[in-house]
Amino acid sequence: MGRYFVRRLLQMIPVFFGTTFLIYALMFALPGNPIDTLSRGKPRNPAYLQYIIDQFNLNDPFIVQYFKYIGGIFTGNFGKTFNNVSVIDIFMQRIPVTLQLAATAFVIELVLGIALGIWTALRKGGPFDHLSLLATLLLIATPIFVLGYVVQWLFGVKLGWLPPAGIQAGWPTSYILPGFVLASASFAFVLRLTRQSLLEVFGSDYVRAARAKGLPAWTILRKYSLRNSLIPIVTFLGADFAALMGGAVITEGIFNIPGIGQQLYQSIRLHESVVVVGLVTVLIVAYLIMNLLVDLLYGVLDPRIRYE
């Protein structure tokens, strides 16, 4: 186990440098003038241009810029807004709300997705199975902002069941609608994945053997099938972190939830490029760490992977 952990940690290092370098190269090494683009939508006064140049060290050679930026990541310096507020402070101030929303969505997609996935797998070919396959495809196809507005309008405004925006009502009341919207696409994937991998496991010899032994259906499901079906779901949930953070930009924007996503949404619209770049960098670093954790969890769940 220890060797597996160490190996995964070491593999992480080149990916970390590579990914951060990639972001930086895509932003600043392409043809065109990054200063112009980064100050898009802002008054072109010398002070603002100087601020952009300072934030991204644009007067240095490219590779020096990159290392200054990497140094910033390690020391928690992700830049400062024009009002001299550091991006990491904004992040720290707003992350609790986003985590609360993401956790709500995560619980919804996990509990509902796995439960309905099990149900459809057990009732394969039944009317509910067909309905859920169609409904999940529809959820996957609907862009999150479309779903967000429709849900907000229908349940928040028209029916008035839940608050349409803001977090005044606290958790969970204010978080249910945005949580469902944020969870929607991932919920559909978890459902389909659970169903598919359970069906595969149901067809395997050891499950047939367990049935032949006369074990109760519940034991077969819990002890024989579910644990093996969990592996693709865990993989998905690791990648899902990025989907939740990306989705939070839109969901928090629509439902006026004061988290990272709303800050990003507003900063994009106001062309606060330093805040956008800084916050997204933090999120991508968090995503890389999440992926590492999922890899480690993977090793715990499936001994075959540990000894590959």
By the criterion CB under 8 A, which residues form the site for another protein?
Answer: 14-16, 18-19, 22-23, 26-28, 30, 32, 34, 36-38, 40, 137-138, 140-146, 149-150, 153, 157, 185-186, 189, 192-193, 232, 236, 239-240, 242-243, 245-247, 249-250, 254, 264-265, 268-269, 273, 276-277, 280-281, 283-284, 287-288, 291
Q: Which is nearer to another protein, 132 or 220 (CB)?
A: 132
Query: 260: number of CA atoms within 13 Å, CB side?
Result: 25
Q: Which is nearer to another protein, 55 or 104 (CB)?
A: 55
Q: Which is nearer to another protein, 48 or 171 (CB)?
A: 48
- Cβ at position 198, least distance to another protein in Å: 15
Distance CA 14, CA 1 (A): 22
- Cβ at position 70, least distance to another protein in Å: 15
Do residues 20 and 70 touch, judged by C-beta distance below 8 A?
Answer: yes
Distance CA 12, CA 142 (A): 34
- Both tokens of 125, joined, read 């070919």
CA-to-CA separations, 306 to 20, 226, 275, 291, 297, in angstroms, rounded: 28, 20, 40, 16, 10
Backbone angles phi, psi at 86, to 5 degrees: -80, 145
Distance CA 52, CA 212 (A): 70
Q: Which is nearer to another protein, 98 or 220 (CB)?
A: 98
Helical spans, DSSP H, in the chain: 2-28, 34-38, 46-56, 62-74, 87-122, 127-141, 144-151, 173-202, 205-212, 217-219, 227-255, 260-269, 273-301, 303-306
Do residues 179 and 104 touch, judged by C-beta distance below 8 A?
Answer: yes
- Cβ at position 211, least distance to another protein in Å: 22
- Both tokens of 170, joined, read 């606290």
Q: Which is nearer to another protein, 26 or 159 (CB)?
A: 26
Q: Which is nearer to another protein, 30 or 212 (CB)?
A: 30
Distance CA 260, CA 188 (A): 25
- Cβ at position 7, least distance to another protein in Å: 14
Q: Which is nearer to another protein, 232 or 258 (CB)?
A: 232
- Cβ at position 146, least distance to another protein in Å: 4
- Cβ at position 61, least distance to another protein in Å: 18
- Cβ at position 288, least distance to another protein in Å: 6
Query: 144: number of CA atoms within 13 Å, CB side?
Result: 25
- Cβ at position 74, least distance to another protein in Å: 17
Distance CA 57, CA 65 (A): 6
Which of 127, 111, 244, 135 lies closest to 188 in space, CA to CA?
A: 135
Q: Which is nearer to another protein, 86 or 142 (CB)?
A: 142
Do residues 148 and 251 touch, judged by C-beta distance below 8 A?
Answer: yes
